[in-house]
Chain A
Amino acid sequence: MNWSYIQKVLPLYEKAALLTVRIGLLGILFAVLVGLLCSAVRQLKIPVLRSVVSAYIELSRNTPLLIQLFFIYYGLPKIGIRTSAEACGIAGLAFLGGSYMAEAFRSGLEAVGKIQHESAVSLGLTGLQAFRYVILPQAFAISIPGIMANVIFLLKETSVFSAISLMDLMFTAKDQIGLYYNTTECLALLVAFYLVILLPVSLLGSLLERRARHAEFGG
């Protein structure tokens, strides 16, 4: 292991890691929003939009992120929309992640039995109140493992961003290997940085899971 080399390129990797995290988190945030929107459309059974959502989910889940990215990166300019590579990365992640998040939310909602809803409305709560105070907190707690698995999956998927010349961790590692051939150091750094990013996310996930099982409702 060439330690002086590692020390020299560390700042490069740090910058790349920040880019990965920034795009990753923004992409995931939008993925959650897309997922929530899809869940709402499905839950409320809105006619036409429902089919749009189903089509989107099939498309998004059954095509590789790389292809989705190419479509956004090379396709958007063709219809006159110019954006940065970074924005394309975020959009790609949101497009891919939205469907995964929607599925995670759905499995949570489905796991809360219909009779819990009946129990809530029998007490005189409105449908909305029953959803807000009884169904949603339980569904959310059940969804957390799925959501966190998606977060990790999406963060890992960011490694294909190098294909649209985003200087993320993968790009940097490949670039360095190409320049100096010190494969061992570069791959070790790559693994180390991904771990540094992903381990805290995993831990946060278990923590959230434990906390969400026991909810309160605002006075």
Chain B
Amino acid sequence: MAEPVLTIEHLTKEYDGQTVLKDVSLQVHEGEVIVIVGPSGSGKSTLLRCINALEDIQGGEIRLRGQKITAGAKNLPQIRQKIGMVFQSYELFPHLTVMNNILLAPMKAQKRAKEEVQAEAMALLTRVGLADKADSLPRQLSGGQKQRVAIVRALCMHPEILLFDEVTAALDPEMVREVLEVILQLAENKRTMLIVTHEMPFARAVADRIILLDDGRIQDDTDPEEFFESPKTELAKRFLQSFEYTRTRKSDD
């Protein structure tokens, strides 16, 4: 098999003495879409944040195409250019227009020519249905629109892998679909992605592999068919039941 895009080996992460990721090992191959699920506080966000070194790690190693990722290292900005991260709260830059939000990193970090990036940005904005918003400020957009811009901004850097951390969790229900559809489209185009989500139907549709994280450990790593139809581990069963329970309660009301 070809060299993985991302390799995580025996990752340990502590927050002041408390271990929140325990011996996590994971390989992500080119074109693979991995969905990480798990109860709140299980360490999903922390795992993504470790991957682009927003958190320092206490043990193990993370490599992107063989290059070691170390917090504070000189080559970190260079490596981060290849890791696209999309946050739950969008984190567009509020003082810049949509277009300038997208242009900033390609021009300043990659030193690419404005015209070239602009053309690409326009093409991507068009693809996500936001061509007419190029000159808007973030505050003039809906949550779903902001999140699509954030995705385009990440894509414009030509990342090797995309990390999504509950990118629809802050959205009104009617805007969730427009964002998830963009991600589904990316999956169809064989983008390498690591996705944290609580949207189970979406997880099932988009994932090549599902990883269940619980208490900082990978408890299950399987294909979506199996995970949802015939979960093997007790934890997976209970995790899925927690969603069933919510649904039953709701229909009772």
Q: Which residues of A contact B (CB under 8 A)?
A: 115-116, 118-126, 129, 133-134, 137-138, 141, 213-217, 219
Given A122-B54, A124-B78, A215:B95 Cβ within 8 A: yes
CB-CB under 8 A from B108, the residues of chain A are: 125, 129, 133, 217
Q: How far is the CB of A37 from chain B (nearest CB, A)?
A: 25
* 11 A-B residue pairs with CB within 8 Å: A118-B87, A122-B54, A122-B85, A123-B105, A124-B81, A124-B109, A129-B109, A133-B108, A134-B93, A138-B95, A216-B96
Contact A121 B137 (CB under 8 A): no
Q: How far is the CB of B110 from chain A (nearest CB, A)?
A: 7
Q: Chain B 43-65, CB within 8 Å of chain A: the 1/0 string?
A: 00000000010100000000000
Contact B91 A116 (CB under 8 A): yes
CB-CB under 8 A from A216, the residues of chain B are: 96, 100
CB-CB under 8 A from B54, the residues of chain A are: 118, 121-122
Q: A126 to B91: give the CA distance in the assembly, Å.
A: 17
Q: A133 to B106: give the CA distance in the assembly, Å.
A: 13
The chain A residue with its CB closest to the CB of B79 is A124
Question: Does B89 reach chain A (CB closer than 8 Å)?
Answer: yes
Contact A123 B153 (CB under 8 A): yes
Contact B77 A126 (CB under 8 A): yes
The residues in B between 80 and 112 inclusive whose CB is less than 8 angstroms from any CB of A are 80-85, 87, 89, 91-96, 100, 104-105, 107-110
CB-CB under 8 A from A115, the residues of chain B are: 87, 89, 91
Contact A125 B104 (CB under 8 A): yes
The chain B residue with its CB closest to the CB of A121 is B80
Contact A125 B109 (CB under 8 A): yes
Question: Does B183 reach chain A (CB closer than 8 Å)?
Answer: no
Q: A141 to B52: give the CA distance in the assembly, Å.
A: 29
Q: A115 to B165: give the CA distance in the assembly, Å.
A: 13
Q: A141 to B139: give the CA distance in the assembly, Å.
A: 15
Contact A123 B154 (CB under 8 A): yes
Q: A18 to B153: give the CA distance in the assembly, Å.
A: 51
Contact B95 A121 (CB under 8 A): no
Tell which of A115, A122, A126 has the most Cβ of chain B within 10 Å.
A122
